């Protein structure tokens, strides 16, 4: 793969990657884009290590997930709090804040989930990844991914039924 082909492949995957990170960051678009840039540059520099055993997109998501966890650790140690302590609207312009409000429901629905379940749910329902792909991305066994999805499904079902009342 040449540099141009790499950029073309990234271009095809970046949208879903950024959306996934945006929801994972609780709607902080700037933070999400920052992590996405970091992940893509890491992928660019370590492309030699891409063995082609999984899809290119899966590999990018895996790097992005690792970057997100690293950032989360750094953020927690710097602020002395958790990553989710950030206000959901941080990084939005006024215009974006109005639009962002519409997505608060999704952020609220996944916000209470533990990190692993949140990642599994977003990859499965939002990005249409299979259990095997999620297992490749997160490094968790497929059985664990299934159990995370099962628990998250229960939580979301409750959230949706509470919401519809």
Partner 1 sequence: MKTHNSGKMNTDARIRQFVRACRPPVTDSAEFMEEFTRQADLLPVPASMTREENLKKTEQLCRLGAILSRGKKRNIAEGVAEAVAGIAVSILVFAAVTMFPSAWTEAESRLGIMYDSIAGTFRNFPLLLSCFLAVAVIAVSFRYVKGPGKDCR
Positions that interact with partner 1 (CB under 8 A): 1-3, 6-7, 10-11, 14-15, 18-19, 22-23, 27, 29, 33, 36-37, 40-41, 44-48, 100, 102-103, 105-106, 109, 121-122, 125-126, 153, 156-157, 160
Cβ closer to partner 1: 46 or 74? 46
For residue 97, the minimal CB distance to partner 1 (Å) is 12
Burial 138-154 (b: 16+ CB within 10 A, else e): bebeeeebbebbebbee
Cβ closer to partner 1: 13 or 136? 13
CA end-to-end span of the chain: 53
Give the C-alpha separation, 84 to 46, whole Å: 30
Query: What length is written for the chain?
Result: 165
Take residue 83 and report the two structure tokens written for it.
């990553």
For residue 125, the minimal CB distance to partner 1 (Å) is 4
For residue 17, the minimal CB distance to partner 1 (Å) is 9
Take residue 156 and report the two structure tokens written for it.
């979301």
Tell whether the torsion through CA atoms of 5, 53, 152 and 64 is positive or negative. Answer: negative
Cβ closer to partner 1: 76 or 147? 147
For residue 115, the minimal CB distance to partner 1 (Å) is 17
């Amino acid at each position: 793969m040449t540099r141009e082909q790499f950029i073309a492949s990234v271009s095809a995957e970046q949208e879903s990657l950024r959306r996934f990170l945006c929801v994972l960051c609780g709607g902080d678009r700037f933070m999400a884009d920052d992590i996405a840039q970091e992940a893509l540059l890491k992928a660019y520099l370590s492309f030699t290590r891409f063995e082609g055993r999984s899809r290119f997109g899966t590999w990018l998501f895996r790097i992005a997930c690792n970057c997100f966890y690293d950032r989360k650790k750094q953020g927690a140690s710097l602020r002395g709090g958790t990553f989710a302590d950030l206000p959901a609207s941080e990084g939005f312009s006024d215009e974006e804040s109005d639009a962002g409000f519409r997505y608060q429901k999704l952020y609220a629905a996944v916000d209470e989930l533990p990190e692993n379940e949140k990642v599994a749910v977003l990859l499965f329902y939002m990005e249409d990844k299979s259990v095997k792909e999620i297992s490749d991305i997160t490094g968790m066994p497929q059985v664990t991914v299934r159990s995370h999805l099962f628990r998250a499904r229960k939580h979301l079902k409750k959230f949706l039924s509470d919401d519809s009342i």
